Chains A and B, each alone.
Chain A
Amino acid sequence: MKLIMCAGPPTSGKTTVLRQVARRLLKKGRRLAYLKIDVQFADEDELFRNEFAIPARKIYSGDLCPDHASVLVLGDAVKWAEEEGADLIVETAGLCLRCAPYIVGSLGIVVLEATSGMNLPRKIGAMLTLADIAVVTKIDLVSQAEREVFRANIMDATRIEVLEADALRGIGIDRLVRRIERAEDVTMPLMLKGSPPVATCTICVGKKVIGWEHHFGVLRKLDTDLFYRGE
């Protein structure tokens, strides 16, 4: 089975892209299952169930980073999709800018909107650098020049395949579908691509006092020289 992991900032167009993709893949006779991992609200499962009559679920990560939640639940989800005889499409919340949900052997898609700031590609770390393809949506809302400069900013952040789309009208989606059709099947055991930089600290266990002097474990002062490239 194929595993498609789709991440991207809120409202970047992940669902819109995946609906266009699902419509085309189902028409070609592929079977699909859909899982949304979000923090505290999502309705995409209903949307995919109603529109395509495919098995669809959601899970809320609550107090966990959604990409950490994904590591925990994805094993079960893959079994579930396998029982359904379907490829699995996972849409994640993409809120944690340190972690990335991509799995070795899965097809990692990051969805970015052309309307976001020019520096976005430099801000989102592993969500972009560990993906296999970047899909740039909302190209109908910007000029060609801006679209090309946005592409340059992605390429400056990482060497990655970039596809541009007007996801509302389904323009540019066929190329993504061809890329998905070429993706390999995942093999067990599933392994996360990057190591998420998270540490258990006194804040994690509930200490709320502000100021590094009150904490121990992983500490950071204002003048720390921080550098983090997202993998």
Chain B
Amino acid sequence: MRYLGIEPIRPRVGVFSFTCCEGCVLQLANKEETLGPFLEAIQVVNFREISTEKGADYEIALVEGSISRDDEVERLRQIRDQAKVLVALGTCAVFGGVNRLKDVFSPQEANRIVYGDQSRETAPIRAVHEVVPVDLSIPGCPISKVELERIVQHVALDLPWQFPEYPVCVECKQRFTVCMFDKGQLCLGPLTRAGCDAPCPAGGLGCWGCRGPAADPNHAEFDALVARRGFSRAQVQDRLSFFGGFPTEGSEEKP
């Protein structure tokens, strides 16, 4: 279907999973009401969740998950070599995600807790961009299918895509959620990039920052305002480090 006279591009897409829960890739197959046209807008050549096809002629690689083993590094490099465009899909791929919590333990200690005496190979968690260059990062734990559809439409029509730079609060207010802080609870909404439609404050959990920082997050004022409301440094640091998207105390590098 031509849109405004433009013939949409149907890019060949490969989908690849690394260390994660595979929740983001599952999002690709969600939202049944538009699943048909979604899968028509792209050509899936490699996606084990929905097809047995294992093509190697993809132009766009969607990569979910973080990197935690040497064989994953090798596989990721091969994908990078093949793909024209490599997309980090979801918080694990973009920031390391919840997997990063493992790194508070040594690999030996982490192994002992999870596998007992059946120890496995594991290295400190890396986000995809820490291993190979990434062309587009789509954050979210899991990613938003609505947002992904819009990104795909931009790719199909060859238009530049722009994430919102503003924080989650905008979308939170626009759905009339009572502010978590008014209820005496913590929320990372003022620091976190919007685009998810703020489901977590609406669900009573507050934002945990899975989409990572909004443009120019005001950490100094955020620290001050949470302190004024009686939250401890530890509580706030805990929340900020949960998805690996924010610089936290003691972390050498800014993601």
Is B truly associated with A?
no
Give the B-binding residues of A (Cβ under 8 A).
Answer: none
